[in-house]
Amino acid sequence: MMNLVFLHGGPASGKLTTARAMGRRLGYPVFHNHLTVNMLTTVFPFGSEPFVRLREQIWLSVITDAARTGRSVIFTFAPESTVQFGFPDRLRAAVEDNGGRLCSVRLEVSERTQEARIANPSRVAVGKLADVELLRAGRKHHSPVEFPTAELTIDTDSSDPERSAETIIASFDLRPEQPVISFPEP
């Protein structure tokens, strides 16, 4: 059965580092939020109608086909105001209607730790928010956001990515799979 490990939380909550730690242990590909965001913002402004529509379409298409073909995936997601209402339910349906299981995990972080992590140079490399002042401004002008239901919540102030990965793997009894070969070797 396909497992979709749905890691969600605010900026700098440890989604990608935890996902990568899990991916190393399990062989699951990491389909992180910024792969789609970075691709689409080369053509459309963030939050524009085509961006919002295509982002969800890509997310759901990839995850539906992964479930349909039995390929487990780790998907990172940051709930924010441009995500269309009902996305977590549509994601769950895409997985479960195709024989998969959704394992929903919320990663939480304190504001102090979030601010300390936000300027990490590794965030810039994947196009993530890396400016503390923008983070603070976003908190002040917070729009309503739909948070997915979580079966497991981890406080990443007290759990590093390796330990968080171990906790998730044990909680959902996840088993390793053959890793995806991205580019066949000659």
Q: Which of 186, 184, 178 is nearest to 70 (CA)?
A: 178
CB 166 within 8 A of CB 24: no
Residue-level pLDDT, tens digit, the chain, 186 residues: 999 999 999 888 999 999 999 999 999 999 999 899 999 999 999 999 999 999 999 999 999 999 999 999 999 999 888 999 999 999 999 999 999 999 999 999 988 988 787 877 777 777 777 777 777 777 777 667 888 999 999 999 999 999 999 999 999 999 999 988 877 766
Q: Which domains does the chain have, with CATH numbers?
A: 3-172 (3.40.50.300)
> pTM here?
0.89
Strand 3-8 with 101-108, pairing: parallel
